[in-house]
């Protein structure tokens, strides 16, 4: 890992639970990672594995109750976000850290015009007047590639297509030039051509603004093109963390293996069924004591069912949480 | 954002075709739907006429004339000089319905303002914050609901009525009882609106745009008033419109019982109060104020009905 500078964000042992009538949901179970300035970190994993909850916990956007951040710290520069009061957080969110959400169709307020929604953030954080805010809003819309920006300010979200709305969401997130942009599956709800446009847009903006990005996705194809480093999550744990090329070339954890194996590829025979991972993710209502992937793992040994493996370095810049050794694995699945 | 930023050139820009022609605005769409609702159009026209009647009529008759008593002219049936007849103390019924109309409409509208304000604040706080605050506010709302409204009105009117001095608004002298009645009606009718607002907030606060607003650092007050409240304006507008009719009726009830606005200030309600002794002998005493109340309430209900249909986002009919 890059040790030149102090990390921009250092998350340590974050645990989030939700207390619901059926019991306790162990959503995030001791997550630690760090993020350097200017880096793009991808967080991948299937639905419900805690990717979004982790990010929402860092921004304290989970509903409390039923949510509860049990332990953990999230040092942003020198401030522990978890300890900030609600009032302090209001100044912080959207200013230093901004977030883009998954579904652009529902993330914009249907009764407020695009201009109103854009200027609101600007006025909240930059202490500028309405006129300046509008000028800035036009700049932002142009920045994200929306034509005829001045006349678009009065439009309402329902007059925009999904891709345009996501561009607006990105413009809103960028309005205060945040140091960190958290993108929570920003392209999942869009079709592939628009998805490509949005990714290209974010890459372009990253270069221009030297932004640090956390990109949550379940699309490994997207990750390959844009991330520096990847975190693979499963059932609220980080199971593997590696530089992006390293992850694709030498996936260590059986889950990462399976994920990459399940990717549809152009160079594979078309008549074969796509590979899938048998079984379902574990019930998060049970406190995890063993390896969460044990039930679906081809390489499982007795130890996996007894004890949860810690996330350890298996190579420079490459961490994984698995009891099974690579040497054993070379013999193939049991 | 620094000055050096430029719009990206290598990103495919949206072409003109992808931008829809601007569809009808919400206001325009609402108007188109509303216009097709015949009863609602009738109601609106009627209400405009009633407003012209009670405001314009004031230029024909002075208030002094409306309140002028002369027992020798009492109990005249409608004639050319007194088209609606005169009451037992010789006041002109036509002039009194004009000035009474002003008060009745004023009471209706201001009472609804209080009702709406209370309903929105209580409903929004309960729905948005939830938890113990929600439980507390909703139990209070239910407590208010189980007491029959008319009973509350009578008790409060009896308790507070006549304790306030007269005030002058818009150059007119109002009996202090007008303000008491407005406040009482407002404070006894906010419960249904509070429940509507709470229900709207409960569902709207779960929407992604609320989360997105929080993620940009919007405060709770900003989210409640700028993001969520505009989304539930339709039911509030409908409820408030129907509330005006309700407030006018409530004023009529308590004024009829002699607990409302005190004479000489006329309202449609207290004109009926004086008329109940002459139901058969002098029908003009109750017919005209009664008909005006009926017409107003009916028109407002038609209007509210039309607004409900026109503002309903699920209705696709244009």
Which tokens in the block code for residue B284?
């003009």
Closest-CA residue of B relative to A102 is B208
Provide the shortest C-alpha distance from residue B117 to chain A (in Å). Answer: 21
Binary contact (B222, A124; C-beta < 8 A): yes
**Chain B residues within 8 A of A142 when measuring between CB atoms:** 7
Structure pTM? 0.77
CB contact under 8 A, A204 and B217: no
For residue B174, the SS3 value is strand
Which of A91, A139, A200 lies nearest to residue B11, judging by beta carbons?
A: A200
Cα A296 to chain centroid distance, Å, stands at: 24
What pLDDT is attached to residue B112? 92
Which residues of chain B neighbour A107 with C-beta distances below 8 Å? 208-209, 211-212
Peptide bond into B264 cis (omega under 30): yes
ipTM field: 0.76
Across the range A9-20, mean pLDDT stands at 86
Mean pLDDT across chain B, nearest whole number? 81
Nearest CA in chain A to B15: A147
CB contact under 8 A, B20 and A159: yes
Q: Is-cis flag, bond preceding A65, omega within 30?
A: yes
Per the CB < 8 Å rule, is B215 touching A61?
yes
Q: Measure CB to CB from residue A61 to each of B214, B219, B222 and give the nearest one.
A: B214
Give the pLDDT confidence score for residue A1 in this predicted structure: 45
Residue A334 has pLDDT above 50, yes or no: no
Contact A204, B11 (CB under 8 A): yes
Give pLDDT, residue A279: 76
Distance CA B303, CA B209 (A): 32
The pLDDT value given to residue B58: 79
- Percent of chain A residues topping a pLDDT of 90: 0
User: Mutate which of B17, B217, B225 to disrupt the A interface (most A C-beta within 10 Å)?
Assistant: B217
Who wins on pLDDT, B120 or B175?
B120
CB–CB contact A110 B231 (8 Å): yes
Q: How many CB atoms lie within 10 A of CB B53?
A: 16
- Separation in Å, CA B34 to CA A121, B37, B42, B310: 35, 5, 11, 5
Nearest Cα residue in chain A from B13:
A145
Nearest 5°: CA angle at B90, between B84 and B91? 60
| Rounded mean pLDDT, B223-250 | 88
Q: Chain B interface residues facing chain A, Cβ-Cβ under 8 Å?
A: 1-2, 5-8, 10-14, 16, 18-20, 22-23, 25-26, 131, 207-209, 211-219, 222, 226-227, 230-231, 233
d(CA B242, CA B248): 10
Residue with the larger pLDDT of the pair A212 and B313:
A212
Three state DSSP letters for chain A: CCCCCCCCEEEEEEEEEEEECCEEEEEEEEEEEEECCCCEEEEECCCCCCHHHHHHHHCCCCCCCCEEEEEEEEEECCEEHHHCCHHHHHHHECCCEEEECCCCCCCCCCCCCHHHHHHHHHHHHHCCCHHHHHHHHHHHHHHCCCCCHHHHCCCCHHHCCHHHHHHHHHHHHHCCCCCEEEEECCCCCCCHHHHHHHHHHHHHHHHHHCCEEEEEECCHHHHHHHCCEEEEEECCEEEEEEEHHHHHHCCCCHHHHHHHHCCCCCCCCCCCCCCCCCCCCCCCCCCCCCCCCHHHCCCCCHHHHHCCCCCEEEECCEEECCCCCHHHHCCCCC
Query: Over the stretch A260-310, which tens digit does the pLDDT of each residue have?
Result: 777 777 776 667 777 777 777 777 787 778 888 877 877 777 777 877 888
Question: How far A89 CA lies from chain B's nearest CA (Å)?
Answer: 7
- Please tell me which residue of chain B has the smallest CA distance to A201: B11
Contact (CB, 8 A) for B69 and B15: no
Residue found by looking up tokens 């008790």 in the block:
B155
Give the residue from B302, B19, B139 showing the smallest Cα distance to A148.
B19
Condensed to tens digits (0 to 9), the pLDDT of residues A72-124 reads: 888 888 788 888 777 777 777 878 888 888 887 888 888 888 888 888 878 77
Residue A141 has pLDDT above 70, yes or no: yes
**Where does residue B74 fall: left (phi above 0), alpha (psi -120 to 50 degrees), or beta otherwise?**
beta
| pLDDT tens-digit map of B1-53 | 444 556 655 555 555 555 555 556 667 778 888 888 888 899 999 999 999 98
Tokens of A175: 């309005």
Task: Identify the closest residue of chain A to B228 by CA–CA distance.
Answer: A109
Say what the alpha-carbon torsion angle B130, B134, B136, B138 is, to the nearest 10 degrees: -170
Identify whether the C-beta of residue A196 lies closer than 8 Å to the C-beta of residue A30.
Answer: no
User: Best of A64, A109, A135 to disrupt the B interface by mutation (most B CBs within 10 Å)?
Assistant: A109
**And the tokens for A278?**
């048998």
Give me the pLDDT at residue B10, please: 58
CB distance B228 to B210 below 8 Å: yes
Per the DSSP assignment, residues forming a β-bridge with A233 are A238
Highest mean pLDDT out of A140-149, A288-297, B215-224: B215-224
Is residue B168's pLDDT more than 80?
no
Q: How confident is the model at residue A332 (pLDDT cuts 50, 70, 90)?
A: very low
Per-residue confidence (pLDDT) for residue B193, from 0 to 100: 92
CB contact under 8 A, B216 and A140: no
Give the one of B7, B208, B212 whose C-beta lies nearest to A142's C-beta: B7
pLDDT for the residue numbered A333: 46
- A:B CB pairs within 8 Å: 122
Dihedral sign for Cα A76, A78, A83, A89, please: negative
pLDDT class of B64 with cuts at 50, 70, 90:
confident
Report residue B188: phi and psi, to 5°.
-110, 5
């Amino acid at each position: 890992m890059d040790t030149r500078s102090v990390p921009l964000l250092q998350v340590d042992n974050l645990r989030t639970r939700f207390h619901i009538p059926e019991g306790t949901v162990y959503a995030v179970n001791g997550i630690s990672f760090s993020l350097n300035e200017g880096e793009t970190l991808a967080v991948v994993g299937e639905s419900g594995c805690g990717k979004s909850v982790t990010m929402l916990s860092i921004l304290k956007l989970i509903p409390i109750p039923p949510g509860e951040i049990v332990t953990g710290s999230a040092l942003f520069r020198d401030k522990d976000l978890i300890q900030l009061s609600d009032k302090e957080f209001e100044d912080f969110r959207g200013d230093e850290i901004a977030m883009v959400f998954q579904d652009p169709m529902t993330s914009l307020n249907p009764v407020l015009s695009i201009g109103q929604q854009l200027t609101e953030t600007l006025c909240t954080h930059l202490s500028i007047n309405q006129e300046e805010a509008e000028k800035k809003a036009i700049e932002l819309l142009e920045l994200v590639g929306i034509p005829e920006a001045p006349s678009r300010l009065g439009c309402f979200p329902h007059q925009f297509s999904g891709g345009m709305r996501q561009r607006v969401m990105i413009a809103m997130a960028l309005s205060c030039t945040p140091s960190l942009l958290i993108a929570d599956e920003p392209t999942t709800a869009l079709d592939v051509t628009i998805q490509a446009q949005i990714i290209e847009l974010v890459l372009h903006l990253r270069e221009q603004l030297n932004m640090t990005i956390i990109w949550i996705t379940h699309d490994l194809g997207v990750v390959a093109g844009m991330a520096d480093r990847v975190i693979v999550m499963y059932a609220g744990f980080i199971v593997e963390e590696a530089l992006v090329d390293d992850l694709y070339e030498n996936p260590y954890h059986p889950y990462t293996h399976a994920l990459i194996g399940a990717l549809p590829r152009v160079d594979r025979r078309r008549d074969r069924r796509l590979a899938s991972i048998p079984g379902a993710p574990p019930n998060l209502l049970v406190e995890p004591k063993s390896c969460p992937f044990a039930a679906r793992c081809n390489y499982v040994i007795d130890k996996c069912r007894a004890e949860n493996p810690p996330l350890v370095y298996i190579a420079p810049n490459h961490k994984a949480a698995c009891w099974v050794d690579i040497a054993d694995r070379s013999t193939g699945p049991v | 954002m620094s000055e050096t930023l430029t719009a990206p050139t290598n990103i495919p820009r949206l072409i003109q075709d992808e931008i829809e022609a601007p569809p009808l605005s919400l206001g325009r769409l609402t108007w188109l739907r509303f216009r097709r609702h015949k009863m609602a159009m009738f109601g609106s026209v009627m209400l405009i006429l009633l407003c012209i009647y009670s405001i314009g009529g004031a230029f024909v008759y002075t208030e002094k004339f409306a309140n002028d008593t002369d027992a020798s002219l009492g109990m005249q049936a409608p004639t050319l000089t007194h088209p609606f007849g005169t009451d037992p103390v010789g006041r002109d019924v036509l002039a009194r319905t004009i000035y009474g109309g002003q008060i009745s409409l004023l009471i209706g509208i201001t009472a609804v303002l209080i009702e709406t304000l209370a309903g929105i604040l209580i409903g929004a706080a309960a729905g948005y914050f939830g938890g113990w605050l929600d439980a507390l506010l909703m139990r209070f709302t239910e407590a208010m609901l189980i007491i029959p409204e008319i009973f509350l009105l009578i008790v409060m009117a009896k308790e507070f009525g006549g304790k306030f001095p007269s005030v002058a608004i818009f150059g007119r002298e109002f009996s202090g009882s007008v303000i008491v009645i407005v406040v009482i009606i407002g404070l006894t009718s906010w419960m249904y609106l509070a429940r509507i607002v709470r229900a709207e907030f409960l569902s709207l606060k779960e929407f992604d745009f609320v989360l997105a607003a929080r993620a940009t650092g919007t405060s709770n007050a900003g989210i409640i008033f700028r993001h969520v409240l505009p989304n539930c304006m339709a039911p509030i507008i409908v409820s408030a419109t129907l509330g005006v009719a309700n407030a006018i009726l409530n004023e009529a009830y308590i004024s009829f019982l002699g607990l409302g606005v005190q004479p000489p200030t006329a309202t449609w309600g207290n004109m009926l109060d004086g008329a109940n002794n002459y139901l058969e002998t002098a029908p003009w005493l109750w017919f005209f104020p009664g008909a005006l109340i009926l017409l107003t309430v009916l028109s407002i209900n038609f209007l509210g009905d039309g607004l409900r249909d026109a503002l309903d986002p699920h209705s696709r009919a244009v």
